[in-house]
Structure 1
Amino acid sequence: MSFSIPSPSAPSLSLPWQKGFAALGSDFYTELRPTPLPSPHWVGASHSVAQLLGLPEGWHQSEEALQALTGNQVFEGSTPLASVYSGHQFGVWAGQLGDGRAILLGELAGGHEIQLKGAGRTPYSRMGDGRAVLRSSIREFLCSEAMHGLGIPTSRALCITGSPGLVRREELETAAVVTRVAPSFVRFGHFEHFAANDQEEQLRTLADYVIDRYYPECRSPAATSPWGGNPYAALLHSVSERTAQLMAQWQAVGFCHGVMNTDNMSILGLTLDYGPFQFLDVFVPGHICNHSDHHGRYAYNRQPNIAYWNLFCLAQALLPLIEDQDTALAALESYKTVFPDAFMAQMRKKLGLTQAQQSSEALVEQLLQLLAQNAVDYTIFWRRLSHAVAQGQFEPVRDLFADRMTFDAWLLSYSELLALEDKALAADLMLNSNPKFVLRNHLGEQAIRAAKGGDFSELATLQRLLERPFDEHPGHEAYADFPPDWASSISISCSS
């Protein structure tokens, strides 16, 4: 992506900042300025996020924007801060954590928080340098916008800026900053922090803030509900249901997060903190995308149960406010029904089925077993099936299976259910539910390699495809093809 050279006529970014999270007080954060980087330059930007924020036309031509979104100066009216939280990491209590390399610039009047990731050391960096590298920043930028294109709740990414400044990881790499956007970056770990430190007043302040800002309906839950008008139990219930819906969408699209620690779980049910993520290539239910996850805690097929485990940790943190263990458990209970129901609803859409039937559940289970047994590419299968239903030609789908006899038996059962649907509507539903393009690891790696050489055009092309992943995009079939052999050697870990 190319950007115009800043000109004296570029608009000044006078943004409507408001207090938001900062109004909670100093128990919740530390005010600090980002640490500057030398000679910043633009790497990429999302103009749809810019529109969401109400930024003026030509915002990316502004030297002020470049400097401020790299952390080299502070927008007028912004009060940068890093928040404190705690959490469980890989199932073990890690104690105090916090924004170790993320600095919140503030909240805009439209209700969007803006955060710089990689803007330097904070009091919560522990042994880290507070920086992010170009490699991981490109992955986060692209995946944030890719998930949004897929219709999955997520934080967004306004832009990436780069710098020749060096950062040491496994090797020396150049630094970068991602500007992240979300209604809130509050995590399960924020609540765990105050509960673990017996700071009930702060815990209540935080819960009241989240309820009043994002879950106002929890102030008047039905008296007949299992939590009998308790707003904190109602909050837990709402977060559980949002999280269940999110997990259903992750599983349906084949997304692996890779590091589902409680401090990476959004209180709003957003996909948050893109580190060692991956979209499945071959369908392997036990796939582990994070090479730091030596025991497979965050394998693809374990994500729904891990989400419930994390919600249980949130319930323990909220217990001083809920005041009754049975009430807290009742607030969690719906996760066990909402997730499977939401997952099956997603899978029926992928199959073009509008009617919820018991036979469709068996059909999905059989299909997932077939995909695993035949090592079938997950995204390509679903897209080919969508076109097969539209065109009545299933041979390209059969070609994906070594065991064609078993697939043909499944196809016969599927055809019987499909016969109950309007074929044209079913095909349309499938083509809008099964993406042609996802952010495969090798595609991200190709964009990263080009960007390291100063060429951001591959990033821009990939971004454009991922923003509209259900469109055909003629001429870009290579981006929807099988991964090359070298893709399996890409190692993604928590290091960035």
Structure 2
Amino acid sequence: MSETAREIARETAQEAPTVDLGLSWKAAFQTLGPAFFTLLRPTPLPEPYWVGHSEPAARALGLPPDWRTDAALAAFTGNAAIAGTQALATVYSGHQFGVWAGQLGDGRAILLGQTAGGQEVQLKGAGRTPYSRMGDGRAVLRSSIREFLCSEAMHALGVPTTRALCVTGSPQPVRRESLESAAVVTRFAPSFIRFGHFEHFAAAGRDDELRQLADFVIERFYPECRSDTRLGGNAYANFLRAVSERTADMVAHWQALGFCHGVMNTDNMSILGLTIDYGPFQFLDGFNPAHICNHSDSSGRYAFNQQPNVAYWNLFCLGQALMPLIGDEAQARAALGAYPERFAPAFEARMRAKLGLVDAQPGDAALADGLLRLLATEQTDWSIFWRRFAHWRAGAALAPVRELFIDATAFDAWLLSFDARAAQDGAAPEAALAANPAYVLRNHLAQTAIEQSQRGDHSGVQTLLALLQTPYQEQPGRQAFADFPPDWASTLEISCSS
């Protein structure tokens, strides 16, 4: 054990009370052995309080209706152990902003265990771990509210994602750009394993652990790769292919929703094709394909229109890590080829749905691309355009759509082509409403709820959560949440510390 690990073990060695939350737990990641993690307890926080909670997430975890007790507050802040769990932090490595960063790991996230229902539960912001490097292992209220809300919002939008059960806060000060207060997000997913977990062992030449990890993931999440006869029946090549396909589906969904992740490092890429690690994310306001949502991203590596290519690059890093197992470069390249093969039709299908079309026809991609060029030229508000367009498809007036364009004649010309294409389709036009949300988590909405919470009033978090949990339904009296962003929204800067 390193000196850092010994120091952290001493910090967290105090005996914590144990509470029973009514959940059954089973060993999962722990079965891999000590090469993959460090056992440790969360570091307690003083005077914890509830900030926000998701009842749908609680039901998904199997918690009882009256789960929000004092015992649960202590457990989900890291102040009490949960009966049946064995907390740990995992080790991984990765490429950050395209540069090899070496060993990383769960620097502020602690895995409690896996429920009998198959969900791993983590506390993010629960204190230092041996992988915190120079960090304090804490999360602040601001970033915790953003991750909590966006996790649940993305789930409601149908995007593959990690989930969030709750946020708890504490008055303990935490230094970021300024002095803020601490918070903990309880999040869950079938697995938090990332591309970087594989890169870690591959970079160190530890092929036995690499194979053990791959077998662990294949057995639990990709068993079909053992019997897949494609790629010469190579299970590890088929595994890379399956991850490539899931990643393509996820990113196609991001692009159709106008979602910017902001920091697509390989250690932030889920091996299950889930959206993970909500930091400097943003839903587009005006449509600028080159929009950079991360203030720390000075080169624009993770700009909105770069996301599909970056995901492909990250998959190549995963493929390189898996080469000792795949053994055949041609099979690895064929596996990676599944990404572009999958992404293009997946994105085209989502754009067709946004347009209220069903039957795929030649020229659909060009039709959608022509519209995207129009939106980019005028930087038309992404979400408002698509929702108004969906209403027009369902029978509303066209005028609210046309008024979004300074040069409506260009839109009218495109509309003639669209009308001719739509006349050949068998779709119910109102189907577009199910593909274009009325509400997304814009930065200014999150910021308003955060500032309210920082003043001690957490009702705005719950109000916004309730809205985002039914994003495709119009909610009376909530029009302001679907309106254009205020001028001050353009001054918000979200960075990797957010």
The residue identity in structure 1 corresponding to 2:37 is Y
**Which moves more between the two structures, 330-339 or 107-116?**
330-339
Could you say which residue in structure 1 is the equivalent of 2:491?
A: 489
| Residues 449, 414 of structure 1: alpha-carbon distance in 2 compared, 3 angstrom cutoff | same
Q: In structure 1, what is the Cα distance between the partners aligned to 2:76 and 2:275? A: 22
Q: What are the Cα deviations for residues 99-145 of structure 1, in whole angstroms up to 9, with x where unaligned?
A: 00000000001000000000000000000000000000000000000
Give, in whole Å, the separation in 2 of the partners of 1:415 and 1:144.
37
Find the counterpart in structure 2 of residue 80 from structure 1.
87
Structure 1 residue identity aligned to 2:178: E
- Which stretch of the first structure deviates more once superposed, 450-459 or 311-320? 450-459
Q: CA deviation at 1:421?
A: 3.3
Instruction: Give yes or no for the alignment of 1:13 onto 2:21.
Output: yes
Deviating more after overlay: 472-481 vs 413-422: 413-422
Distance, in Å, in 2 between the alignment partners of 1:304 and 1:257 is 11
Three-state SS of the structure 2 residue aligned to 1:365 is: helix
Residue of structure 1 in register with 2:432 after alignment: 430
Question: In the alignment, which residue of structure 2 is the partner of 1:461?
Answer: 463
Alignment of 1:93-492 (within 5 A): 93-222=100-229, 225=230, 227-422=231-426, 425-427=428-430, 429-492=431-494
Supply the RMSD in Å over aligned alpha carbons.
Answer: 0.9
4+ runs deviating over 6 angstroms = none
User: Which residue matches 1:8?
Assistant: none
Q: Deviations over 1:408-442 (max 9, x none)?
A: 0001111112222356x221x11000000000000
Contact preservation (8 Å) 2:22, 2:64:
no
Contact 2:22 2:63 in 1 (8 A): no
Change (3 A) 1:404 1:155: same
Greater mean alpha carbon deviation, residues 325-334 or residues 339-348 = 325-334
The 3-state SS of whatever aligns with 1:186 is coil
SS of the equivalent of 1:328 reads helix
Which residue number in structure 1 is paired with residue 49 of structure 2? 41
Query: Which 5+ residue runs of structure 2 have no aligned equivalent?
Result: 1-18
Q: Residue by residue, what CA displacement relative to the aligned partner does 1:256-305 show, whole Å, maximum 9, x if unpaired?
A: 00000000000000000000000000000000000000000000000000
SS of 1:181 mapped into structure 2: strand
Matched-pair contact (CA < 8 Å) for 2:358–2:426: no
Counterpart Cα distance in 2 of 1:91 and 1:275: 18
How many residue pairs are counted as aligned between the two chains? 480
Q: Residue type matched to 2:105 in 1?
A: G
CA distance in 1, matches of 2:455, 2:418: 49
Inter-partner Cα distance in structure 2 for 1:370 and 1:474: 31
Query: SS at 1:292's partner residue?
Result: coil
Q: What CA distance in whole angstroms lies between the structure 2 residues aligned with 1:213 and 1:56? A: 27
**SS of corresponding position for 1:59:** coil
| 1:24 shift after superposition | 0.4
Q: Which runs of 5+ in 1 are unaligned?
A: 1-10
SS in 1 for 2:404: coil
Q: Secondary structure at the match of 2:81?
A: coil
**What SS class does the counterpart of residue 391 from structure 1 fall into?**
coil
User: What CA distance in whole angstroms lies between the structure 2 residues aligned with 1:349 and 1:168?
Assistant: 45
Q: Which residue does 1:7 correspond to in 2?
A: none
Rounded to whole Å, the distance in 2 between the matches of 1:14 and 1:379 is 41
The C-alpha deviation readout for 1:337-381, integer Å capped at 9, x for no partner, is: 210110000000000111111222111010000000011000000
C-alpha distance in 1, partners of 2:276/2:363? 35
Name the counterpart of 2:7.
none
Cα distance in 1, alignment partners of residues 111 and 396 from structure 2: 52
Same amino acid, percent of matched pairs = 64
Amino acid across the alignment from 2:241: H
Q: Hey, what does 1:53 align to over in structure 2?
A: 61
Q: CA deviation at 1:392?
A: 4.7
User: Does structure 1 retain, via aligned residues, the 8 Å contact 2:279–2:496?
Assistant: yes
Task: Using the TM superposition, give the Cα deviation of residue 444 of structure 1 relative to its aligned residue in structure 2, in angstroms.
Answer: 0.2
Partner of 2:30: 22
For the 8 Å contact 2:359–2:426, the answer to whether it is kept is: no
Deviation sequence 1:32-54 (CA, Å, 0-9, x none): 00000000001111111111111
Q: Distance in 2 between matches of 1:19 and 1:366?
A: 52
Alpha-carbon distance between aligned partners in 2 of 1:57 and 1:359, rounded to the nearest angstrom: 51
Tell me the distance in 2 between the aligned counterparts of 1:351 and 1:416: 13
Letter in 2 for 1:453: R
Cα distance between partner residues in 2 of 1:170 and 1:236: 39
Structure 1 counterpart of 2:10: none
Q: Which amino acid aligns with 2:67?
A: W
